[in-house]
């Protein structure tokens, strides 16, 4: 069994992808173990030596910060914290995101600035390694005092509360503990707060979205190149000279990619072509490229976040400091999500326009890409669907991060709404994937009307695999099935 040692190296996006793909288990590095133990010992000694109020450790929470908690009630305080804050509702969080949440929570606790007990971290790792995933809900976090509600649900099974996913089914945490011959954990001072303060709900969504966004960005280039070829577009807009004099990184990369994808195509060897092509084809380097640059910016934000300590208060044993601050505030992530929504929505928007052009009866292609148009409606309505989804994406791209609402009796008076930004960003990503799948279906159908000419070898190979799932459209049939299979193809086929 492969193990990734938490605390042994920088947790990059590519490493996270590898850990997921290889289903790697977790362990703690010696450095991480020592840091956790040292911090916990420091906190225990501090509580023995001081009568001062330390937020969330011997006081209430939020607006109740000035309520002193007796020493004999500190364990009950942390237990109550998890129960009272587990107020999630709405849809259930996807399992793959819950697993990332667990990993990121362990990573953050392992720096030794949170006061967590080693046994608590080890129980979290057991849950991760055994694929015991807490049931968590999408709604309830303001993305400011950390992701309080979802992280409370994440931590509930530690104390024998809440529910967990086991082998695709939901069981009570009590039943899991009993079946595994485990006892609930008794949380000590600060532990509950360390568990529910943090940005791991937002960060896990971000990692999931970014890994898929990079793949989808590549697909946008491939599908866009095929559409350009079957629409009889010129290759000139993808030549390097124009992009060297406006050298945005994403623009350069997109132009080179599409140029290479089109190289060798029979369709590019045709003698006469129109002088210019519509923007949705000609400006793919500029539009797709800008989305690539945005994905890279967001990646840099989340790279910092997943290698950070985001609970509160922060404990510094070497400096003899316990500082109540605001590392749980999700503003950097909220901004990144909102920007990502726009970038992904634009990949979908320009894709829908190419689909519209392909079915419009221009450049020798039949109306709606079907024989006997009239008797057959062909691919008329998939474009409607793409247009509807593209419009929904525009609505979802209204920024969440400019919103705020007062909570905790005014103590928490400015929040990031980063959790809402995260969940809607995933909706935009899924929507864009569907729009691109419709364009792929449309471009593949258009290619049939260019036969016996062939597109480039690499695009022909992709279409050959695609045709194993979605046959050529000869007469009207149930297109929802073709659209679903097109989405599945994009999800599963490696380009």
Q: Please give the positions annotated as active site.
A: 55
Kindly list the distances between the CA atom of residue 392 and the CA atoms of 341, 385, 435, 481, 485, in Å, as whole numbers in the listed order: 11, 11, 11, 22, 22
Q: How far apart are CA 433 and CA 119, in angstroms?
A: 42
**Token representation of residue 290:** 């800008």
Do residues 390 and 435 make contact, with C-beta atoms less than 8 angstroms apart? Answer: yes
Query: Per 3-state DSSP, what percentage of the chain is helix, strand, and coil (rounded to 5)?
Result: 60, 10, 35
Evaluated on CA atoms 55, 58, 61, 62, the torsion sign reads negative
- Partner residues linked to 169 by β-bridges: 166
Kindly list the distances between the CA atom of residue 79 and the CA atoms of 142, 157, 158, 177, 336, in Å, as whole numbers in the listed order: 22, 12, 10, 17, 34
Residue with tokens 């190289």: 263
Q: How far apart are CA 363 and CA 269, in angstroms?
A: 16
Evaluated on CA atoms 13, 15, 16, 22, the torsion sign reads positive
**Token representation of residue 140:** 């309830």
**Token representation of residue 9:** 């190296």
**Token representation of residue 430:** 């899924």
Q: How far apart are CA 243 and CA 252, in angstroms?
A: 6
Q: How far apart are CA 291 and CA 88, in angstroms?
A: 32
**Pairing outcome for strands 3-6 and 25-28:** parallel
Evaluated on CA atoms 318, 323, 325, 330, the torsion sign reads positive
Beta strand extents in 226-343 (DSSP E only): 314-316, 321-323
* DSSP label of 268: G
* DSSP label of 409: G
At residue 170, the 3 state secondary structure works out as strand
Kindly list the distances between the CA atom of residue 391 and the CA atoms of 191, 276, 294, in Å, as whole numbers in the listed order: 45, 27, 21
């Amino acid at each position: 069994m492969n193990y990734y040692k938490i605390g042994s190296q920088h947790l990059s996006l590519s490493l996270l992808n590898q850990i997921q793909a290889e289903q790697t288990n977790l362990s703690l590095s010696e450095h991480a173990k020592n840091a956790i133990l040292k911090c916990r010992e420091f906190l225990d000694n501090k509580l023995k030596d001081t009568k001062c109020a330390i937020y969330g450790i011997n006081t209430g929470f939020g607006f109740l910060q000035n309520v002193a908690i007796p020493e004999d009630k500190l364990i009950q305080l942390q237990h109550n914290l998890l129960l009272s804050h587990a107020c999630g509702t709405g849809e259930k969080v996807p399992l793959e995101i819950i697993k990332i949440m667990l990993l990121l929570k362990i990573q953050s606790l392992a720096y030794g600035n949170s006061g967590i007990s080693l046994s608590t971290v080890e129980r979290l790792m057991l849950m991760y390694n055994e694929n015991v995933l807490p049931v968590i809900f999408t709604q309830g976090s303001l993305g400011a005092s950390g992701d309080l509600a979802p992280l409370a649900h994440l931590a509930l099974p530690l104390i024998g509360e809440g529910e967990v996913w086991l082998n695709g089914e939901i069981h009570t945490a009590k039943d899991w503990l009993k079946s595994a011959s485990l006892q609930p954990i008794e949380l000590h001072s600060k532990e509950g707060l360390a568990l529910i303060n943090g940005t791991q709900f937002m960060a896990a969504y971000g990692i999931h979205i970014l890994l898929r966004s990079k793949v989808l960005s590549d697909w946008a280039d491939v599908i866009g190149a095929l559409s350009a070829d079957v629409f009889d577009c010129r290759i000139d807009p993808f030549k390097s000279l124009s992009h060297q004099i406006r050298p945005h990184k994403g623009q350069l990369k997109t132009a080179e990619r599409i140029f290479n994808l089109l190289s060798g195509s029979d369709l590019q060897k045709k003698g006469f072509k129109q002088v210019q092509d519509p923007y949705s084809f000609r400006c793919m380097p500029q539009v797709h490229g800008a989305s690539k640059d945005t994905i890279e910016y967001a990646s840099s934000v989340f790279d910092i976040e997943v290698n950070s300590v985001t609970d509160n208060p922060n404990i510094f044993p070497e400096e003899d400091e316990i500082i109540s601050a605001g590392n749980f505030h999700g503003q950097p992530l909220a901004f990144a999500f909102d920007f990502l929504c726009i970038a992904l929505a634009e990949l979908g928007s320009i894709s829908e326009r190419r689909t519209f052009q392909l079915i419009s009866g221009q450049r020798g292609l039949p109306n709606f890409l079907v024989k006997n148009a009239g008797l057959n409606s062909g691919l008329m309505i998939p474009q409607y669907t793409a247009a509807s989804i593209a419009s929904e994406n525009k609505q979802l791209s209204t920024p969440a991060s400019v919103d705020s609402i007062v909570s905790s009796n005014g103590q928490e008076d400015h929040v990031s709404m980063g959790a809402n930004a995260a969940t809607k960003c995933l909706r935009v990503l899924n929507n864009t994937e569907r729009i691109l799948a419709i364009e792929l279906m449309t471009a593949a159908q258009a290619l049939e009307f260019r036969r016996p000419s062939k597109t480039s070898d690499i695009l022909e190979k992709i279409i050959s695999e695609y045709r194993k799932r979605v046959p050529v459209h000869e007469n009207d049939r149930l297109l929802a099935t073709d659209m679903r299979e097109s989405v599945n193809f994009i999800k599963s086929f490696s380009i």
